[in-house]
Structure 1
Amino acid sequence: MSTLSIRDLHVSVETDAGAKEILRGVNLDINSTETHAIMGPNGSGKSTLAYALAGHPGYTVTSGTAAIDGEDILEMSVDERAKAGLFLAMQYPVEVPGVTVTNFLRTAKTAIDGEAPKLRTWTKDLSEAMKNLRVDPAFASRNVNEGFSGGEKKRHEILQMELLKPRFAILDETDSGLDVDALRIVSEGVNRVKEKTDVGVLLITHYTRILRYIQPDYVHVMVNGRIAEEGGAELAERLENEGYDRFLGVGA
């Protein structure tokens, strides 16, 4: 079992008025068999946490640590973090014109594993994963996210997760823009990966609807750049019923 350990993490972004601190001391431990949900109002720092861990250059870690099994990932380049087992499913996946889905996925798999997967095995695995996600076979020959619907983009993110087999997957609002059917299929994909591998999931969401399909072991409420409350799945239901009013002013 692996552990992603975050300690007193502070992160800033540049604005027209100068550097602005977004995360103000986040502490979190995620084991590779657990699912953690992070909820909170807009602007609380949820996506900042995701992108800072992944190594986005627009986010500056000013203090604190983040480590996988004691190895500091904040000192790693973005590709080194991926090789260490970190995966980010982006809220707004970008288009990559001229690069087909199948080439993108096989290149990514080769980069992470250090060797190209055997073609016969790879073709079988890709075909099976696409079938499970209800993806048309023609999807593999399309350019990455170019002309994709919102549901197709999110299915492609989970397709990557299933084939790359990370140790820790950060899912940044994977449920946004999905209808009921697509939400169920994407959630089934996440659960399927969890059944096959020991992957820790950090699920960032505003709503409890995806948590009805992906059962969290822990729920964390982020407000003003800090974890304001922690609990089990019942905390998400309480937030659904009561909202975030009782957290207003916390850590401000």
Structure 2
Amino acid sequence: MSKLEINDLHVTVDTEDGPKEILKGVTLTINDGETHAIMGPNGSGKSTLAYSIAGHPKYTITGGTVTLDGQDVLSLSVDERARAGLFLAMQYPVEVPGVSVSNFLRTAKTAIDGEAPKLRTWVKDVNAALEQLNLDPSFGTRNVNEGFSGGEKKRHEIAQLELLDPKVAVLDETDSGLDIDALKTVSEGVNRFRAREGKGVLLITHYTRILRYIEPDFVHVFVDGKVAESGGKELADQLEANGYDKYVNAVTA
């Protein structure tokens, strides 16, 4: 079972002109078995929400709460949040020179589980995850994200999701920079995760194309640091047809 509850979350970032409020009271609940899509224009705060949940030090929580199965997420360090069951697939995965994919994955699994996976079964699990994402087994010998194409970076993120098996996955624009084949492969990986019992997904995206492969239970329009409207998957189709002007104009009026 998993339940991520975000209640009246306010977040600021430091700028040259002082602290600037980015999130202005976000309230959202993701129950197990649910997929929530957040859509909105650039600069609306979608990625800020993702990184604030994960514990990025750039973002300062000034109000509100985030809990996972009743546990106070905001009081936990980044690694404690991962062990509690949170996972973030980053929009721009960083390079880690000198660390191979295989070592990275095994170290991460060991840190989250508290014990090293058995090598024989672990190698099989890794190879199976890579194969499902159309990545050659030799991919494990490469340095993390170093020289990776955009598609390889995103498929590597989903390999992590499959192997680390969190409770709630926050996917920050996992579809950006992907061609149609990579998009389908990544979406299939997310759907395999969603099919497991007791999982939740928060999917952040600009476009509806990924929602053709990952069907959301709820769609939220994110504008000016908060949820402007929520609905079912049909809301995404309305956004595709009409854009965000209706919501942006309501904020600036």
**TM-score, normalised on structure 2?**
0.98
Q: How does 1:48-197 map to 2 (within 5 A)?
A: 48-197=48-197
3-state SS of paired residue (2:250): coil
Partner of 1:224 in structure 2? 224
Partner of 1:17 in structure 2? 17
After TM superposition, give the deviation of residue 56 of structure 1 in Å: 0.2
Q: For residues 70 and 100 of structure 2, what CA distance do their matches in structure 1 show?
A: 36
Q: For residues 113 and 158 of structure 1, what CA distance do their matches in structure 2 show?
A: 18
Q: For residues 133 and 198 of structure 1, what CA distance do their matches in structure 2 show?
A: 23
Q: What amino acid does structure 1 have at the position aligned with 2:164?
A: L
After TM superposition, give the deviation of residue 189 of structure 1 in Å: 0.5
1:134-188 CA-partner distances (Å, limit 9, x unpaired): 1011100000000000000000000000000000000000000000000000000
After TM superposition, give the deviation of residue 87 of structure 1 in Å: 0.2
Q: What amino acid does structure 2 have at the position aligned with 1:145?
A: N
Q: For residues 129 and 102 of structure 1, what CA distance do their matches in structure 2 show?
A: 12
Q: What amino acid does structure 2 have at the position aligned with 1:32?
A: D
Partner of 1:247 in structure 2? 247
After TM superposition, give the deviation of residue 198 of structure 1 in Å: 2.5
After TM superposition, give the deviation of residue 216 of structure 1 in Å: 0.1
Q: For residues 41 and 218 of structure 1, what CA distance do their matches in structure 2 show?
A: 18
1:27-79 CA-partner distances (Å, limit 9, x unpaired): 00001211000000111110000000000000000010000011100000000
After TM superposition, give the deviation of residue 251 of structure 1 in Å: 4.2
Q: What amino acid does structure 2 have at the position aligned with 1:220?
A: H
The answer on whether the counterparts of 1:228 and 1:250 sit within 8 Å (CA) in structure 2 is no
Q: What amino acid does structure 2 have at the position aligned with 1:165?
A: D
After TM superposition, give the deviation of residue 196 of structure 1 in Å: 3.0
3-state SS of paired residue (1:240): helix
After TM superposition, give the deviation of residue 197 of structure 1 in Å: 4.0
Q: For residues 91 and 144 of structure 2, what CA distance do their matches in structure 1 show?
A: 15
**TM-score, normalised on structure 1?**
0.99
3-state SS of paired residue (2:195): helix
3-state SS of paired residue (2:190): helix
Q: For residues 58 and 7 of structure 1, what CA distance do their matches in structure 2 show?
A: 20
Partner of 1:34 in structure 2? 34
Q: For residues 83 and 49 of structure 2, what CA distance do their matches in structure 1 show?
A: 19
How many pairs align?
A: 252
The answer on whether the counterparts of 1:223 and 1:250 sit within 8 Å (CA) in structure 2 is no
